[in-house]
């Protein structure tokens, strides 16, 4: 029975919106979240189809544009990482402290991220501290790591938190989870 | 009449006291209490091990630098070099040694804080998931004087915290 389910799952095809919904569902391992005290650390693994699906929410790609964009995105593993501080006293952080944190996030924090694929440790090829939302106290980061030849093996995303001093936080993407993702059907 | 009221009040008070005593005794007996060897959990927690390795590496590197400086100082003294040069080298040596000690202390404190922050979170999750009311820490100088070994969940906690840390 489980084989029938998993086999049918492997071949599942989805339209972009359903694909996005599936990818952002916490039960499907591509989005993972961890709480340490008042902090919430969330990681979204983004396949090239995920990125295209996001882009096509606002504009349409022709079949050729879709293929071209997919090729452009190849060669990297993409992630969005967010840190949300749910503590009530965050707003009491001084402006100087906040400025220091933003500066750290913008210029120094890249070194705190790494991707472990089997025994290889890779540093980000692309790193962007996108924003720090004042409203919900969220720091958002966009990251991409060079894809390893042994991709689709177990991947560990590792973040050494020096922004809030909570230590190393790991997220694991198992090989079977990476292989079980549905296919995006783009028309 | 007043005598009767007093008697009634006394009986009611006694009943309330008995009820409260019985209620709290039952509550205490119902509480799910377990304990862990916190020293062992701390030492065998993977994050703690990783940080220990880093601190040890730093200690070894700094010791190598200090040893080479010390050797240079000995050579200078042995060959009767300029005393002011020896003095200035000594000063640099002691400054460096202090700096290393300070960094070592800072690193140890910072890592210890990080390890405890994560341990607290994982213990809370484990306690919630298993409906424990208390997880006590059995360690030297802790106020817990006696614990029944059957309530020791150190092994289970270690597996849990290391799994959570490794991303599972």
CA angle A3, A6, A9 (to 5 degrees): 145
Q: Is the model more confident about B46 or about B19?
A: B46
A168 contacts on B by Cβ (under 8 Å): 47, 50, 114, 165
Residue B147: name the closest of B72, B35, B71 by CA. B35
Q: Where are the beta strands (DSSP E) in chain B?
A: 33-36, 134-137
B113 contacts on A by Cβ (under 8 Å): 165
Residue B12: per-residue pLDDT: 73
Residue A115: per-residue pLDDT: 96
User: Nearest residue of A to residue B112 by CA position?
Assistant: A167
Note whether B118 contacts A167, CB cutoff 8 Å. Answer: yes
A36 contacts on B by Cβ (under 8 Å): 117-118, 121
> How close does chain B come to A36, measured CA to CA in Å?
6
> How close does chain B come to A172, measured CA to CA in Å?
5
User: For the ranges A32-41, A94-103, B43-52, B60-69, which has the lowest average pLDDT?
Assistant: A94-103
pLDDT band at residue A91 under the 50/70/90 scheme:
low
Above 90 in pLDDT, residue B78? no
Q: Which helix (H) or strand (E) holds A161?
A: strand A155-161
Residue B9: per-residue pLDDT: 74
Residue ranges of the domains in chain B?
Answer: 1-30, 31-165
ipTM of the complex: 0.70
Q: Is the model more confident about B15 or about A110?
A: A110
As given in the structure block, the two tokens for residue A166 are: 């909570």
Residue A183: per-residue pLDDT: 87
User: For the ranges A102-106, A166-170, B2-6, B158-162, which has the lowest average pLDDT?
Assistant: B2-6
Note whether B118 contacts A171, CB cutoff 8 Å. Answer: no
Q: Is the model more confident about B74 or about B24?
A: B74
State which CATH number among 3.30.910.20, 3.40.50.300, 3.90.930.12, 3.40.50.2000 fits the domain covering B31-165.
Answer: 3.30.910.20
Query: Got the DSSP string for A95-154?
Result: HHHHHHHHHHHHHTGGGGEEEEETTEEE--SEEEEEEEETTTTEEEEEEEEEPPTTTTS-
Residue A178: name the closest of A157, A154, A158, A156 by CA. A154
Q: Considering just the CA atoms, what is the radius of gyration of chain B in Å?
A: 30
Residue A8: per-residue pLDDT: 43
pLDDT band at residue A128 under the 50/70/90 scheme:
very high
B111 contacts on A by Cβ (under 8 Å): 167
Above 60 in pLDDT, residue A10? no
pLDDT band at residue A6 under the 50/70/90 scheme:
very low
Pairing of strands A13-14, A183-184: parallel
Average pLDDT over residues A113-142: 89
Residue A152: name the closest of A133, A173, A172, A121 by CA. A173
Residue B45: per-residue pLDDT: 96
Q: Are A47 and A62 in contact (CB under 8 A)?
A: no
B32–A contact, CB cutoff 8 A: no
Q: Where are the beta strands (DSSP E) in B18-65?
A: 33-36
Above 90 in pLDDT, residue A151? no
Residue B132: per-residue pLDDT: 95
User: Nearest residue of A to residue B164 by CA position?
Assistant: A170
Residue A175: per-residue pLDDT: 87
> How close does chain A come to B77, measured CA to CA in Å?
43
Residue B24: per-residue pLDDT: 53
Q: Considering just the CA atoms, what is the radius of gyration of chain A in Å?
A: 18
Tokens 């006293």, residue?
A: A89
pLDDT in tens, A24-68: 999 999 999 999 999 999 999 999 999 999 998 888 888 899 999
> How close does chain B come to A59, measured CA to CA in Å?
36
User: For the ranges A1-10, A12-21, A152-161, B101-110, which has the lowest average pLDDT?
Assistant: A1-10
Residue B168: per-residue pLDDT: 76
């Amino acid at each position: 029975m489980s084989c029938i389910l998993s086999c049918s799952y492997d071949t599942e095809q989805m339209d972009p919106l359903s694909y996005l919904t599936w990818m952002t569902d916490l039960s499907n391992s591509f989005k993972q979240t961890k709480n340490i005290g008042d902090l919430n650390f969330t990681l979204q693994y983004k396949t090239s189809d995920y990125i295209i699906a996001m882009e096509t929410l606002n504009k349409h790609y022709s079949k050729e544009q879709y293929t071209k964009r997919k090729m452009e995105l190849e060669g990297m593993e993409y992630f969005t990482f967010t840190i949300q501080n749910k503590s009530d006293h965050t707003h009491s952080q001084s402006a100087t402290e906040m400025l220091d944190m933003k500066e750290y996030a913008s210029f120094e924090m890249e070194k705190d991220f790494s991707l472990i694929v089997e025994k290889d440790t890779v540093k980000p090829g692309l790193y962007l501290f996108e924003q720090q939302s004042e409203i919900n106290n969220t720091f958002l980061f966009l990251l991409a790591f060079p894809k390893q030849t042994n991709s689709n093996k177990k991947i560990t995303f590792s973040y050494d938190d020096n922004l809030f001093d909570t230590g190393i936080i790991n997220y694991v993407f198992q090989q079977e989870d990476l292989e079980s993702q549905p296919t995006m059907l783009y028309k | 009449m007043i005598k009767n009221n007093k008697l009634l009040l006394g009986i009611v008070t006694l009943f309330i006291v008995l009820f409260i005593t019985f209620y709290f005794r039952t509550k205490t007996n119902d509480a799910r209490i377990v304990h862990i060897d916190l020293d062992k959990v701390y030492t065998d927690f993977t994050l703690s091990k990783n940080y220990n390795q880093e601190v040890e590496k730093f200690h070894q590197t700094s010791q190598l630098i200090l040893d080479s400086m010390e050797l240079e100082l000995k050579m200078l003294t042995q060959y009767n070099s300029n005393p002011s040069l020896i003095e200035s080298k000594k000063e640099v040596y002691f400054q460096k040694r202090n700096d290393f000690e300070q960094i070592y202390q800072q690193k140890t404190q910072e890592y210890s804080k990080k390890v405890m922050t994560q341990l607290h979170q994982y213990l809370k999750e484990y306690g919630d998931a298993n409906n424990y009311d208390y997880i006590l820490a059995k360690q030297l100088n802790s106020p817990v004087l006696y614990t029944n070994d059957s309530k020791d969940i150190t092994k289970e906690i270690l597996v849990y915290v290391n799994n959570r840390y490794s991303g599972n």
